Amino acid sequence: MLEWLSDNRASIAAVLILAMIGTFVWSIVIGRRQARLTANDEVFGDPVRTKGGWYWAVCGVSTLFLLWSYYSWGVGRAYFPNAANEMCQIAKLEEAVSPIKAALPIGSRYFKSTLLASRNSDQLDDLEAQLEGTVFVDAEKSELLDVIGQVRELIANSSNPNNMGEEPKAELLRLAERLNELSSYVDAGPIGLAPSDEALAQPKWGTTFTEIPILPITERGMLFDTASVEAAEIAAAFNKIRNKFPANDVLIDDIKTRIDALKEINKSGEFDELERADREGYVKAVERIFKRLDDGLIFPAAALEDVGTAIANLDAAASDAQGGLRYADALFFPGPGIVKSRTQCTEQGPARWLPKPTDVVATFARLANPDVESGGGYRGFPLLWWDWLPIADVVAFFIPDWIADVWPGEYASHGPDGTITPNFKDKLLAFAQGDVSLGYIPMLDGHIWDSLFRVLVALGLGIFLGVPLGLFMGVSRFFKSFFDPLIELYRPVPPLAWAPLILTIFGIHDDGKIFLLFMVAFAIMVISARTGASGVLLSKIRASHSLGASDRQIMWNVILPNAMPEILTGTRIAVGVCWGTLVAAEMLAGTTGVGFIENIARTVSDYELIWVTILIMGILGLVFDLIMRWIIKKTIPWRGMG
Amino acid sequence: MKSVIKSAMLAAVGSMGLAAPSFAEEVNVAFFLQWPTPNLVWKTSGAYADAMGVDVNWVDFTTGTAMTEAMLAGDIDISYSQGLAPFVTAIQQGAPLKMIGIAVIYEANDCFVRNELGIDGSNASELEGKTVAVPLNTMADYAFRKYMDHYNIDIATMTVVDQAPPDGAKSLADGAVDMACVFGGVDTASAAEVGTAIMTSQQKQDAGIGSFDVVTVTEKFATENPELVQAFMDATAEANEAWTGSDEQVQIVADASGMGVEATKTTLAGFVIPSVEDQVSNFFNEGGDAAAAAASLGLVFQGDSDGSQIAKTIDGSFLE
């Protein structure tokens, strides 16, 4: 079932997207209709104006879903499931001709030859300017000047179309012809081409770790795929062509001998080390430039004209052959399109870092599978499941081992026959360490539960300790003055700043992580409880006092209820911040947890996994918030009413 | 959410002007600080620019993953000495990169066992059931798995804690973990203070456990400017040949990599810079070390690694 869903995720998305568009329109219709029904005399700023409006929530959710689908290419994949594979084949052709394009002013401003000529000429100019200040004697200087002049001549010769040999000329013409033939082949369309069985057997787009399988699965894809093979051959042949001709060959030989002679002088002459280095450096610089020019890489611009036209033709043909795909690409695949590597094609732009909604759900489903043996869970641990927890472990958690140590007597040692008879002290130790069977209780288990547990315990401690302290700080001069500097000093410190200490103080277990979260929750709870307590109307306290209430009664029945709105708002904030700190806390010593998953996913840039963890944290935070809202509604219904 | 939409829109708008000019007036090369490779002498002297005829812009990085990201964004053309681990994970994610050379071979990262436990190679099986700090999905993780494999220890019995090397070293010192696998000079030194390496250099060599850093290049740059890639590799080979290890050179490398001279010497002592011939005959040949290591690394990180796929991204044609 799951497999079927996973394989057909594109079709499912297609239905969902249509449904969401429907919901989007429908919610707006309802919203507008409802707006007409509401009273005209509602005043701006009246809190009543925010009541209700679930249809706008529906509208917001569907907008979010649609935008997400659009930018993650979810819409594109749903309605054009073969588009990515075809774009991949087009990318193959693009890549195949890219060496030829790189030599031409296509996608760049200049011919590669122009750049080579200008760059090396500039460097020759620099060398010539430096020559005066070098250690060479005058005769050598004029010799070097001559060599530099010859290298310049080399550039000039290569750039002259009249000098070009018949062979490279003919070869370029032949390649232009081949490119034109290729254009007409592409123009003719996919006749007699059918995707191979191997290609059709590939997994669908995005269903496995390989994003877009590389073999063509459509006729159009086949056309581009076969064209790219021919284009690659043409490009290889193009790369082999050298602009060589007799005039330059003579020149090259001459320069070579002269440079060698200069090197010989440098080697044999009686120069001190510094002078020799200078001489060798200069000659080497000349030689380097010469070496870049001696293999005939500079072509006259005119010679490349035919190839340039042929490439333009091919581009036009390829563009025509894409047909409707071009519009689909422009409309439904925002971003730079598809990039081909040696092994697969991948999405670029927003689709790279924003996985499709269906993919996120599929990844979540894979992780949520509690059967760790069959590939569920993450790193051998389920996402959220339950397990039998030995009661002995719980007992062991509360009973420290040293109780057994301080019990009078010695631990048993093995007897002469090699057996061990445990005495009471041993048994006590076993009990304290949880090595006994006391039965089992079902307990939640998994990454989410571990994170949840940490947050809940930290939050619980924060409320339990922070609220009383805050209340007392709100009513007592001693508490306020004593704790104020302490709290105010540590409160602004970002939780991450504690991280390096936590590891040393608490080690790698849960207590350190919980403490980090507790620090966050505690400060917020203290501040909110204090603000709540000090904000109680004096008249209420006076009134209860004059009615004979004791201090305890005033605290319990007047101050606490009046501080409740602040405390509950504080709790809401604390929950949010705790989830925010969780990733950092679980980075300290990661073993389990949602933050741990995210940290690992980050090291391999697994964006799907990262989004799954983000969504899990978002949803858990939302659930917490909804619970808090419900509590607020139940416990302080008077809030905002007076 | 607003910002997500906003950046998504920006990305869409940005893509319109994407037909970026691809001519190479300068080559952007990524390198690591704290990683004193001999070719930094040439980097400092500007000899790379002379040899290649274009400006060479060196950009330092702290992680190999960041190098990959920069290469994908088109800001970096060549990564010198990228770790094998980030390269393999990038390939598995479909990044259009390829490996064109081996930058440096060095000893596998060490795993240190707390001295109190008295565990070394001879009684390594006692490690079962122990707690170990490992920076997951790094070369240290890879080395850890190789060691445990060598000693026939089932990792499933151990508690593996994901910790960055500084944290791992600290936890080892605090006794919170029994073994810590770390990398980097400083953290290795501090872990060695309180622990013993599970394998000596000799043992590692005998067991064939080592790591190497690679030279990677984007597919686009390699197809459009093969002559520049070739020139870079030639220059690197020449720079490596020119390395004598003299104090003067070490000083230059130390300055270029932001390290002290002593630390540079220690690190350099553990480096083997393979010659071009060595790379061709041992790493880039049929079934060579490059493909084998990449495939087994892929298996560690992604479970269902296909070695033949990764092998496609290994290209020794720029080695003469």
Query: How far apart are the C-alpha atoms of B312 and B94, rounded to whole Å?
Result: 12
Judged against a pLDDT cut of 80, whether residue B232 lies above it is answered with yes
Task: List the structure tokens of B109.
Answer: 């990262």
Size of interface A-B (CB pairs under 8 A): 162
Query: Measured between CB atoms, does B6 come within 8 Å of chain A?
Result: no
Same structural domain, A289 and A160: yes
Q: With pLDDT > 90 as the criterion, what percentage of chain A qualifies?
A: 40
Residue type, B53: G
pLDDT for residue A498: 82
Distance of residue A614 Cα from the nearest chain B Cα, in angstroms: 12
Query: How far apart are the C-alpha atoms of B311 and B287, rounded to whole Å?
Result: 9
Which of A403, A421, A444 represents a domain boundary (last residue)? A444
Q: List pLDDT tens digits, range A136-165.
A: 888 888 999 999 999 999 999 999 888 888
Query: How far apart are the C-alpha atoms of A457 and A455, rounded to whole Å?
Result: 6
Contact B89 A95 (CB under 8 A): no
Q: Do strands B159-162 and B179-181 pair parallel, antiparallel, or not at all (unpaired)?
A: unpaired
Give the DSSP H or E segment for A442. Answer: strand A440-445
Task: List the structure tokens of A305.
Answer: 């004209």
Judged against a pLDDT cut of 80, whether residue B182 lies above it is answered with yes
Query: Measured between CB atoms, does A508 come within 8 Å of chain B?
Result: yes
Query: How many folded domains does chain A comprise?
Result: 4
CATH 3.40.190.10 for domain B111-207, yes or no, is: yes
Distance of residue B244 Cα from the nearest chain A Cα, in angstroms: 17
Q: Which of residues 166-225 of A touch B (CB under 8 A)?
A: 209-212
Identify all chain B residues contacting A344, using CB atoms and an 8 Å cutoff: 94, 309
Contact B98 A292 (CB under 8 A): no
**Shortest CA distance to B268 belongs to which of B247, B288, B284, B282?**
B247
**Shortest CA distance to A605 belongs to which of B295, B312, B64?**
B64
Same structural domain, A168 and A298: yes
Same structural domain, A193 and A313: yes
**Shortest CA distance to B74 belongs to which of B24, B135, B108?**
B24
Contact A99 B223 (CB under 8 A): yes
Neighbouring CB atoms inside 10 A of A50's CB total 7
**CB of B315 within 8 A of CB of B99?**
yes
Work out whether the CA dihedral A617, A620, A624, A625 comes out positive or negative. Answer: positive
Q: List pLDDT tens digits, range A178-232.
A: 999 999 999 998 888 889 999 999 888 888 877 888 899 999 999 999 999 999 9
Same fold, B25-107+210-318 and B111-207: yes
Same structural domain, A21 and A105: no
Same structural domain, A104 and A216: yes
Give the DSSP H or E segment for A14. Answer: helix A9-37
pLDDT for residue B17: 36
Neighbouring CB atoms inside 10 A of A185's CB total 17
Q: List pLDDT tens digits, range B90-131.
A: 888 888 999 999 999 888 888 999 988 888 878 888 888 889
The alpha helices in A300-377, defined as continuous H runs, are 305-322, 325-332, 350-353, 357-368
Residue type, A287: E
Q: Which of residues 89-118 of B touch A (CB under 8 A)?
A: 89-98
Identify all chain B residues contacting A339, using CB atoms and an 8 Å cutoff: 94, 96
Same structural domain, A455 and A424: no
Query: How far apart are the C-alpha atoms of B218 and B91, rounded to whole Å?
Result: 11
**CB of B87 within 8 A of CB of B206?**
no
Q: Please name the residue of chain B whose CA is at the shortest distance from the CA of residue A608.
A: B93
Contact A210 B94 (CB under 8 A): yes
Judged against a pLDDT cut of 90, whether residue A460 lies above it is answered with yes
Binning pLDDT at 50, 70 and 90, where does residue B79 land? very high
**CB of A151 within 8 A of CB of A293?**
yes
Per DSSP, A381 falls in state B
Closest in A334, A341, A596 to B94, CB measured = A341
Q: List pLDDT tens digits, range A528-569.
A: 999 999 988 899 999 999 999 999 999 999 999 999 999 999
pLDDT for residue A636: 84
Test mutation, A282, A288, A508, A591, chain B, max B CBs within 10 A: A508
Judged against a pLDDT cut of 60, whether residue B24 lies above it is answered with no
- Give the residue with greater pLDDT, A423 vs B77: B77
- Who contacts A471 (Cβ-Cβ below 8 Å, separation ≥6)? A529, A530, A532, A533, A555, A559, A560, A563
Query: How far apart are the C-alpha atoms of B254 and B38, rounded to whole Å?
Result: 10
A346, part of any domain: yes
pLDDT for residue B304: 56
pLDDT for residue A641: 60
Mean pLDDT of A348-360: 89
Among A256-265, A481-490, A579-588, the minimum mean pLDDT is found in A579-588
Per DSSP, A350 falls in state H
Judged against a pLDDT cut of 70, whether residue A640 lies above it is answered with no
Work out whether the CA dihedral A368, A372, A375, A380 comes out positive or negative. Answer: positive
A379, part of any domain: no
Contact B89 A123 (CB under 8 A): no
Judged against a pLDDT cut of 70, whether residue B5 lies above it is answered with no
**CB of A399 within 8 A of CB of A436?**
no
Task: Report helix, strand or coil for B80.
Answer: strand
The superfamily in CATH containing domain B25-107+210-318 is Periplasmic binding protein-like II (3.40.190.10)
pLDDT for residue B303: 56
Judged against a pLDDT cut of 60, whether residue A252 lies above it is answered with yes
Residue B155: C-alpha distances to residues A604, B136, B142 (Å) = 21, 13, 12
Query: Measured between CB atoms, does A118 come within 8 Å of chain B?
Result: no
Contact B226 A285 (CB under 8 A): no
Closest in A120, A288, A336 to B51, CB measured = A288
Mean pLDDT of A317-325: 91
Per DSSP, A50 falls in state G
Counted residue by residue, chain B has a size of 320
pLDDT for residue B11: 44
Q: Which of residues 376-405 of A touch B (CB under 8 A)?
A: 380
A369, part of any domain: no
Same structural domain, A34 and A174: no
**CB of A83 within 8 A of CB of A328?**
yes
**CB of A343 within 8 A of CB of B313?**
yes
pLDDT for residue B21: 38
Query: Measured between CB atoms, does B282 come within 8 Å of chain A?
Result: no
pLDDT for residue B12: 43
Judged against a pLDDT cut of 60, whether residue A613 lies above it is answered with yes
Binning pLDDT at 50, 70 and 90, where does residue B302 land? low
Task: List the structure tokens of A191.
Answer: 């006749």
Mean pLDDT of A305-315: 93
Closest in B96, B226, B227 to A339, CB measured = B96
Backbone φ and ψ for A246, nearest 5 degrees, come out as -55, -45
Q: Which of residues 330-369 of A touch B (CB under 8 A)?
A: 334-337, 339-346, 349-350, 354
Q: List pLDDT tens digits, range B245-290.
A: 889 999 999 998 888 888 888 888 888 899 999 888 888 888 788 8
Binning pLDDT at 50, 70 and 90, where does residue B301 land? low
Contact B96 A115 (CB under 8 A): no
Among A239-253, B9-23, B269-283, the minimum mean pLDDT is found in B9-23
**CB of A294 within 8 A of CB of A270?**
no
Judged against a pLDDT cut of 90, whether residue B211 lies above it is answered with no
Report the mean per-residue pLDDT for chain A. 88
Judged against a pLDDT cut of 50, whether residue A402 lies above it is answered with yes
Q: Do strands B131-134 and B179-181 pair parallel, antiparallel, or not at all (unpaired)?
A: parallel
Query: Measured between CB atoms, does A622 come within 8 Å of chain B?
Result: no
Delimit the domains of chain B by residue range: 25-107+210-318, 111-207
Q: Do strands B97-107 and B271-272 pair parallel, antiparallel, or not at all (unpaired)?
A: antiparallel
Task: Report helix, strand or coil for A370.
Answer: coil
Task: List the structure tokens of A97.
Answer: 């001709």
**CB of A9 within 8 A of CB of A207?**
yes
Contact B95 A341 (CB under 8 A): yes
Write out A19-30 in H/E/C secondary structure.
HHHHHHHHHHHH
Residue A82: C-alpha distances to residues A193, A218, A349 (Å) = 16, 7, 19
Rounded (10°) angle between helices A560-588 and A594-603: 40
Query: How far apart are the C-alpha atoms of B9 and B196, rounded to whole Å?
Result: 54
Query: Measured between CB atoms, does B187 come within 8 Å of chain A?
Result: no
Contact A107 B22 (CB under 8 A): yes
Residue A418: C-alpha distances to residues A409, A413, A415, A422, B126 (Å) = 21, 9, 5, 13, 22
Query: Measured between CB atoms, does A443 come within 8 Å of chain B?
Result: no
Which of A424, A444, A464 represents a domain boundary (last residue)? A444
Interior angle at CA A27, CA A21 and CA A29, nearest 5: 105
Distance of residue B22 Cα from the nearest chain A Cα, in angstroms: 6
Give the DSSP H or E segment for B42. Answer: helix B40-45
pLDDT for residue B18: 37
pLDDT for residue B311: 83
A328, part of any domain: yes
Q: Which domain holds residue A54?
A: 2-71
Same structural domain, A159 and A295: yes
Q: List pLDDT tens digits, range A79-138.
A: 999 999 999 999 999 999 999 998 998 878 889 899 889 888 988 998 899 888 888 888
Query: How far apart are the C-alpha atoms of A262 and A150, rounded to whole Å?
Result: 15
- Who contacts B297 (Cβ-Cβ below 8 Å, separation ≥6)? B84, B85, B88, B142, B305
Same structural domain, A154 and A276: yes
pLDDT for residue B14: 39
Binning pLDDT at 50, 70 and 90, where does residue A494 land? confident
Return left, alpha or beta for A373; rule: phi > 0 is left, psi -120 to 50 is alpha, else beta: alpha
Closest in B50, B159, B167 to A285, CB measured = B50
Query: How far apart are the C-alpha atoms of A501 and B312, rounded to whole Å?
Result: 46
Q: What is the DSSP string of A239-305?
A: HH-----HHHHHHHHHHHHHHHHHHHHHHHS---HHHHHHHHHHHHHHHHHHHHHTT-----GGGGH
Task: List the structure tokens of B19.
Answer: 């037909």
Judged against a pLDDT cut of 90, whether residue B216 lies above it is answered with yes
Task: List the structure tokens of A64.
Answer: 């979010």
Going across the sheet that includes B55-61, the strands are B55-61, B26-32, B78-83, B210-218, B97-107, B271-272
Contact A343 B310 (CB under 8 A): yes
- Give the residue with greater pLDDT, A310 vs A426: A310
Same structural domain, A105 and A60: no
Which of A396, A413, A444 represents a domain boundary (last residue)? A444
A371, part of any domain: no
Task: List the structure tokens of B183.
Answer: 């990398």
Query: How far apart are the C-alpha atoms of A352 and A611, rounded to whole Å?
Result: 12
Residue A570: C-alpha distances to residues A361, A377, A523, A637 (Å) = 33, 34, 10, 17
Same structural domain, A221 and A350: yes
Q: What is the dihedral of CA A133, A135, A136, A138, to 10 degrees?
A: 60
Query: How far apart are the C-alpha atoms of A172 and A303, rounded to whole Å?
Result: 8
**CB of A431 within 8 A of CB of A407?**
no
**Shortest CA distance to B171 belongs to which of B131, B137, B121?**
B131
Residue A486 CB burial class (10 angstroms; 0-12, 13-18, ≥19): exposed
Same structural domain, A465 and A439: no
